[in-house]
Structure 1
Amino acid sequence: MISTFATATFPNHYTLITGLYEEVHGVISNNMYDPKTNLTFEQSDNMTNNEWWPYPTIWSINEQRKGGRSGVVGWPQDSIHISKYQPFNRSRSFRDIIDQMLLWFNDSIEPINFGAMYFYEPDRTGHQTGPYSKNMTTMVRECDELLGYLLDKIDTNEKLRKNLHLIVTSDHGMEQINGTNNPIYLEDYVDHTKIRSFGVPPVTNIFVLSSNDIDIVLKNLSRIPHSQSYKRQDIPDRYHYKNHERIGDIVVICEPGYEINHHPSRKNFILI
């Protein structure tokens, strides 16, 4: 899969199920600000506010078809109103999620004909220990065994073996962070009293409080090493990331392997 930009969890999950670029569906980061409503989206808050999830999804469209029934387990979005749905639960085993999904497909009265399930690994291990760590190698092996479990379950069920189409994908990739002993702090380059910042460490959306300060803020941000700063209207078209009000006045994009952080005393930037 080729991820949309920015390559973060919630934006790409919403693209997967809507087929829309982030500048269209509006989920432009895991942490974002909506200047129209003055609301802030974070993965732990506002998840049940349907204003963040306004577009039809593959499972809702399937439900509109005659006899169409969808089932979703653990997708990182709330709330989902379809025939069969169970929310994300980190304490639930991945095998249990698979068993539940297959039960829905095999329901003798109201079987589903579309299902989606989400596993938070190996993403979590990659964030914790890096994508090239021994822990990551072990987790990828465990995920491979989990996929084998699912395939075995399908192969032993004649109905599923003959009729089920299986798609395995991811929401984004991952790269090892360089210079962790010498982190890049946003406050070292710009006066934080002149801006509000949101996003994930590789892609930061900057809202400048006064339009008179945009040029000087851009000049200062352009000094950040291993990064490129753009005014919204100058963001390259290939990113499909400039035609939405939730995208900042300035966007700072880091090179692979680098990220921008806030000093620990700053709390308005969420590292995800």
Structure 2
Amino acid sequence: ITKCFSFSEPPLVILSMDGFARDYLDRYTLQSLSFIATCGATAERVYPPFPSKTFPSHYTMVTGLYPESHGIVDNNIYDPQVSDKVEDMKNTAREGFFKGDPIWNIYKRHGGRTACLFWPGCNYNISGLRPDISLPYNKELPFRYRFDMILKWLLLPKSSRPGLITSYLDQPDTAGHYQEDVRNQLAQLDDDLRYLIQRLDVEDLLPCINLVLVSDHGMQRLNNTQYFSKILSDPNVITASGAVGRVYKYKSSKDRFLCSDATVDELMEPFACEKGNRWKVFSRSNMPTRKHYQKTARVGDVIVQGERGVSFYSYPSQDIHLTADHGYDFINPTMQTVFFAMGPSIKKGVVVPAFQNIEYLNLFLGLLGLPENVPNNGTLGLLDGILIYPPNQSSRLRLTLPPLSECFNSGFPVASSCRFCSAEMLGLISARLKCAVPKQMPFQILSKSTHCFQNYCEKTLISDRERNAPIGITETLTRGVSDSKEPCYFVNSKYGSLCSNHTDREGLTSRSLSADADSVLSNIETIRLLWKSNFVTDVLDPLNEYTKSLAHRMGRVISITGIAFDHDYDGVADDKRSSSPSHLYRILVACSGPWSDDETSCLQPSDLVVLSFIFPHMDGDINCLTKEDLLLEYTARLLDVELISGLRLMFPSISREQYLRLETHINTKLW
């Protein structure tokens, strides 16, 4: 007989182990974690947000929001609307830094009681609430004392017992920062966790509670320290330290603002063309979308992302001589971390594929039996495979979008010359445009009614219905197939298209959205756009070369290329579209095994793979990266492309679970 009868719902205990790198599991054995993995669930690995720092990552886990949305963009933050100096989140008394809605507040609004044991952020009055029990941070409190407190809370009478407990442990992070004996610290942590499990077992609570163990980031040995004071000479900038350094043009000084006279481009110049050896430099406008580090001015005017092992301080006097740190890009293996869970709501022996920690909030809502109507950046259902009784899928399907319908047309396709077309070539092209429906693809493109498609048989254009202006193209590239090299720029009179007359001019180059320059149908005039010339040289040409190389290597690749409009940097398509695009995207769809006989799907649905990119329309690559490094830097999730384009891809041949995995998959390397 257990004490479970006194629980109407299993309490949720979330325990964070700061700085538990995923690669520790490959080097050390922790019996406590092996026990939880056997009796419950674990993950192949977990990606932190960007930057992979303690306060941003912990607050992401409890809000489901990227740092750009919840406001905690680093362990130190500058926001002149909140404070006139860079504030350390460990010590700040200002609640205005914290935005979003953490899980303890959501649970309280639904009548639950909460307890917090040192979780970052829970001592602040966020959205009008704070945990019922919350203690001031005491790093010296032994872990076993903390676990005894958790047991004490779980054994309280029902009326005063918390149903949600969030707890934070500073190890193995503290040992990792100074490269102390991580092995011994992990052994001690293992002993303490086994103590917790044994205490729960003795009190008959082990079958009654859901226990979730998480971490915020990994750890990287340092080998290079940079000081902004030795790189920048402008006195009217503020700099923030870390693996990701930040530079702000504006600073407040006794109720007035000072502003650097330098432009953002000028502030970036001292960091330019480092080739990724020590750092990469970005502005908000050219930051890769996958990092979701653009939306708020708190991220800085210039963001200097250290490469692994490089850290930044404003001045030498601030250097605390760490030997290891974190904060780097989450695709670096050393930054990735762990997840373990067990309890009456959690399946046994489950290993889920890698995911990013924005997904935790929806899992916590499910474990607490709370409504899922909390806006966040996670994807509903992605972690359902962990739960014995997942929420009803039909109650939470995203707003259904209709498939693209054909644009208004005259019904008769004829190629009409814009430039350089012979009568013979126009006749050949017109013959290739005569089909009733476009070539079948392994996916459907869904969108609002403002979009439609134009049928070019071998290719399909995605068009803005209101402007009758193509904004994307879908095409299949295959090994060794090429057309006549005779140039012929044309439009299809079926759709009333007009020649655009996008000719090269100073600093701008006309280039097609098509990835297949060897096809005569890539010369559709309406998909030729003006791009910054350096963008064509540094981005578009390498992207097309890479796409063609994949078609040669894999035999068949489907490419979807389009333009997007996100001038406010929030990662979502703008409601009001400007005349010039802010981004170019490309989605590559392929099979890792053979295609079906009709070439409309993979022979094995599990072989379907997707690789996506989002590039800001920037004036070349300021970092002078190799082509491969540049392409990897600007990879994106399929979901990121869907959000910024306003389109959605559906793959009828795969399960909903596989689709969610495909949509949220983070590529850590190129194909």
Q: For the superposition of Structure 1 and Structure 2, which TM-score range results when normalised by the shorter chain?
A: 0.7 to 0.9
Q: Structure 2 counterpart of 1:70, which letter?
A: T
1:42-191 matched pairs, under 5 angstroms? 42-46=88-92, 48-66=93-111, 68-77=112-121, 78-79=123-124, 81-108=130-157, 109-128=159-178, 130=179, 133=180, 135-158=181-204, 160-179=205-224, 183-191=225-233
Q: Distance in 2 between matches of 1:241 and 1:99?
A: 39
Separation in 2, partners of 1:21, 1:44: 20
Question: Paired residue for 1:5?
Answer: 50
State the alpha-carbon separation in 2 of the partners of residues 41 and 198 from structure 1: 10
1:116 corresponds to which letter in structure 2?
T
Deviation at 1:56, TM superposition (A): 1.9
Q: Equivalents in 2 of 1:58, 1:270: separation in Å? A: 36
The residue matched to 2:193 in structure 1 has which SS?
helix
1:173/1:141 CA distance change after superposition, 3 Å: same
Taking only aligned residues, the RMSD between alpha carbons, in angstroms, comes to: 2.3
* Structure (1/2) with the larger strand percentage: 2
Q: Quick one: structure 1 residues 261 and 212, their matched pair in 2 at CA, closer, same or farther if it must change by over 3 Å? A: closer
Aligned to 2:244: 203
Q: Which runs of 5+ in 2 are unaligned?
A: 1-45, 250-258, 326-671
**Equivalent residues of 1:29, 1:199 under 8 A apart:** no
1:241 is aligned to: 293
Return the letter of the residue paired with 1:264: P
| Change beyond 3 A, Cα 1:269–1:252 | farther
Q: How far did 1:260 drift?
A: 2.1
Larger radius of gyration: 2
Structure 1 residues 97-124: Cα deviation after superposition (integer angstroms, max 9, x where no partner): 1110111111024211111111111111
The structural deviation recorded for 1:270 is 11
**Secondary structure, aligned partner of 2:72:** coil
Letter in structure 1 aligned against 2:212: I
Q: Alpha carbons of 1:53 and 1:261: their partners in 2 closer, same or farther (altered >3 Å)?
A: closer
Give the aligned residue type for 2:170.
Y
Alpha-carbon displacement from aligned partner over 1:17-43 (angstroms, at most 9, x marks no partner): 111100101110111100333443213
Distance 1:4 1:222 in 2: 25
Query: 1:34 is paired with a residue of what secondary structure?
Result: coil
Residues of 2 paired with 1:198 and 1:260: CA distance?
Answer: 8
Q: Is the 8 A contact 1:189 1:223 kept in 2?
A: no
Residues 10 and 213 from structure 1, CA distance in 2 versus in 1: closer, same or farther, beyond 3 angstroms? same
Task: Give 1:269 shift.
Answer: 11
Cα 1:215–1:194 shift into 2, 3 Å: farther
Instruction: Write the distance in 2 (CA, Å) between the matches of 1:269 and 1:214.
Output: 29
Secondary structure of the residue aligned to 1:197 is strand
Aligned to 1:145, the other structure's residue is in SS state helix
Q: What is the alpha-carbon distance in structure 2 between the residues aligned to residue 218 and residue 35 of structure 1?
A: 22
Q: Matches of 2:261 and 2:198 in 1, distance apart? A: 59
User: Which stretch of structure 1 is more off in the superposition, 252-261 or 33-42?
Assistant: 33-42
Amino acid at match of 1:147: L
Question: By how many angstroms is 1:185 displaced?
Answer: 2.6
CA distance in 2: counterparts of 1:82 and 1:44, whole angstroms: 18
**Kindly, what percent of the aligned residue pairs are identical?**
27
